[in-house]
Structure 1
């Protein structure tokens, strides 16, 4: 997965570390290749400067120095694009800037050609790659305004054409660098959103499967144990068969719930959970005091409260050792109270997942032992 920088703001000017000082490396591998090829072709515009100086009769000594500076300038510019390892790290970036700009200025001063001020566009382009855009803007403004007196020193008059052309190069390079960085940041953000969506779906699946299997397998285990005890005690065969039929029905419903969970089409029903809770408590030999109707429950609160009921009753059957379980329900709340010991130790995956599920609807979950003995689990969903 692509990593998102410390900030997706391309104008970030935090000089803390490399992660907080993003540099443009191209939004995609194909974009990087295209940018590098374009930079290589752009270097060809330096060739006419040396040819024009030779044609104008520049002495061999200064001409050799100019050619050497042009070669060094081109190598620095190409190194920025093709060998980013040269300027990995803030110190190296500043060092590269301190090399490429003086070399560019030396080319301008030594060539003394009309229009040569635009040669500094190579240095500006390199600064847009290596610096945060806020700093690159400052460098561009300083370069353009410094070109005014510099052109007067070189040619004896302000070369407005050259200065305006340099300003246009600075604006175009800065705009392209900003756009490229935004595209790269958006691509990275999209990759992270995709990964987060996958992780969220996995968490939802794990939580739903825990809710389905935890309650269903607990009830099936309790009813199977009850059927075994009835057989061992020589109870009536019809009663044993009834318990086994109910166990079979529970297994079928659990299988259907798992299929619905996997497909994302499962919806909890508070009425169905009350029926299932009554059967589970009866099979476990726990006295059940449950409401007979849930007509007053608001539609928005029914599904999250159904999950609360399922998890609460499952914990009563599995952990509490209770003899009695009481369930009370209102328009936007539900409470499960037993006279047992409650879940042992810290909250398990069930209560943790239940709290996360209620948080999605801005609901609250409270649980803990009662001062008079027993355990209480309550949930409330806002209106």
Structure 2
């Protein structure tokens, strides 16, 4: 016999539930005495009729909870006891009850329950004059073996349920982390833009109130440009950060800096990184370049890629002269996304402002470096 379904009612009509009919093949032992012995038609009819409530009780036990399984189990035992005077093949019915006892109950409870069932077999053997070697010894060993199989099957099902629960918890945790990451990335990308939109909308409203239509139009055009840029970045973020690669993204950042009036230099060879790390590096560089545009008041920016030992250093340097750096959600977000890959972010304000991202070199590049050396 196979395992039974102990899932909630809404999930009981599964493949396992449908295959439960196949496990009734064990009833073949119930029919052996009918064919061996010359039974009257009346007795054969009673033996067949008993199977109707027994099969009902079997599926009742199959779908029961632990608390209610006792009722179909007792019903199966009672049916087996009632048919024993006519058909000693009732042992097959008792084995089904033994399986469910082992499946539903603890080892201690199952032990005493199976012991009680063996006592019933002994009593039936003595009262009806059935061969004790067949009915008690063979039948008892069979019931105990099937009961132990039910116990083992319960352990397997419990382990499977724990595994499914663990997988569900891991999936839920991964979903929470992914939501947190998306929220952080959206904040890093959109926080400043939304603030700018709010300020420019407020300024345009005041200019319109004063009747300065020309300046109000300038503010509205800039607001429209920011909104379009924000929409593009939102689409890229929501579509799982699909990008053209590190090289194309860095070139785009350089062009953005130039469009804002800065001269730009790009130095070093761009590394080949895993896609997940590359995505996080692009978002980090985007945040750093946006900070240069928003806060540095610089005229030049340099983006440098260097390899040192087993590390990759990416620096964003500008000739602005900030006295201090207020670490907000942007820089904290960079540190959080880099920490997942054992990366870090440092900065230096001496003479010029330099932010440096340090990443461990991927294993593939370590091997290539070793071959080249």
Question: In the aligned structure 2, how far is the partner of 1:253 from the partner of 1:103?
Answer: 73
Question: In the aligned structure 2, how far is the partner of 1:302 from the partner of 1:51?
Answer: 74
Question: In the aligned structure 2, how far is the partner of 1:46 from the partner of 1:306?
Answer: 70
Say whether the 8 Å CA contact 2:280–2:337 is kept in structure 1: yes
**Which of residues 43, 48, 67 in structure 1 aligns to 2:74?**
43
Say whether the 8 Å CA contact 2:313–2:358 is kept in structure 1: yes
Q: Does 1:178 align with 2:152?
A: no
How far did 1:270 drift?
1.1
Within a 5 Å distance, the mapping from 1:133-172 to structure 2 comes to 160-172=137-149
User: Could you say what secondary structure the match of 2:346 adopts?
Assistant: strand
Relative CO higher for 1 or 2, CA cutoff 8 Å, sep ≥ 6?
A: 1
How far did 1:34 drift?
0.3
**Which of residues 207, 223, 232 in structure 2 aligns to 1:256?**
232
Question: In the aligned structure 2, how far is the partner of 1:214 from the partner of 1:203?
Answer: 15
Deviations 1:174-214 (A, max 9, x none): 24213322442343234334423432442243133223213
User: Could you say what secondary structure the match of 2:322 adopts?
Assistant: coil
Within a 5 Å distance, the mapping from 1:107-256 to structure 2 comes to 108=118, 112-113=122-123, 160-214=137-191, 216-217=193-194, 248-256=224-232
Q: Match for residue 309 of structure 1?
A: 285
How far did 1:290 drift?
2.8
Question: In the aligned structure 1, how far is the partner of 2:279 from the partner of 2:77?
Answer: 71
Within a 5 Å distance, the mapping from 1:345-360 to structure 2 comes to 347-360=327-340
What is the RMSD computed on CA atoms of the aligned residues? 5.0
Question: In the aligned structure 1, how far is the partner of 2:267 from the partner of 2:217?
Answer: 31
Say whether the 8 Å CA contact 1:289–1:325 is kept in structure 2: yes
Q: Match for residue 270 of structure 2?
A: 297
Question: In the aligned structure 2, how far is the partner of 1:101 from the partner of 1:305?
Answer: 62
Q: Match for residue 327 of structure 1?
A: 302
Alignment gaps of 5+ in structure 2 = 13-60, 87-96, 127-131, 205-213, 307-311, 363-373
Say whether the 8 Å CA contact 1:327–1:336 is kept in structure 2: yes
Say whether the 8 Å CA contact 1:339–1:374 is kept in structure 2: yes
Q: Sort the Cα spacing of 1:253 and 1:111 in 2 relative to 1 into closer, same or farther, 3 A.
A: closer
Question: In the aligned structure 2, how far is the partner of 1:226 from the partner of 1:308?
Answer: 31
Say whether the 8 Å CA contact 2:257–2:289 is kept in structure 1: yes
Q: Sort the Cα spacing of 1:53 and 1:263 in 2 relative to 1 into closer, same or farther, 3 A.
A: closer
Alignment gaps of 5+ in structure 1 = 1-23, 56-73, 85-92, 117-154, 228-236, 283-287
User: Could you say what secondary structure the match of 1:352 adopts?
Assistant: helix
Deviations 1:42-99 (A, max 9, x none): 32243268769999xxxxxxxxxxxxxxxxxx9xx99x96xx9xxxxxxxx79xx4x7
Q: Match for residue 325 of structure 2?
A: 343
Q: Sort the Cα spacing of 1:328 and 1:220 in 2 relative to 1 into closer, same or farther, 3 A.
A: farther
Question: In the aligned structure 2, how far is the partner of 1:159 from the partner of 1:190?
Answer: 46
TM-score (norm 2): 0.52
Q: Sort the Cα spacing of 1:321 and 1:249 in 2 relative to 1 into closer, same or farther, 3 A.
A: closer
How far did 1:340 drift?
1.0
Question: In the aligned structure 1, how far is the partner of 2:358 from the partner of 2:160?
Answer: 44
Q: Sort the Cα spacing of 1:47 and 1:164 in 2 relative to 1 into closer, same or farther, 3 A.
A: same
Question: In the aligned structure 2, how far is the partner of 1:160 from the partner of 1:326?
Answer: 91
Question: In the aligned structure 2, how far is the partner of 1:325 from the partner of 1:190?
Answer: 50
Question: In the aligned structure 2, how far is the partner of 1:100 from the partner of 1:246?
Answer: 78
User: Could you say what secondary structure the match of 1:330 adopts?
Assistant: strand
Q: Sort the Cα spacing of 1:172 and 1:158 in 2 relative to 1 into closer, same or farther, 3 A.
A: same
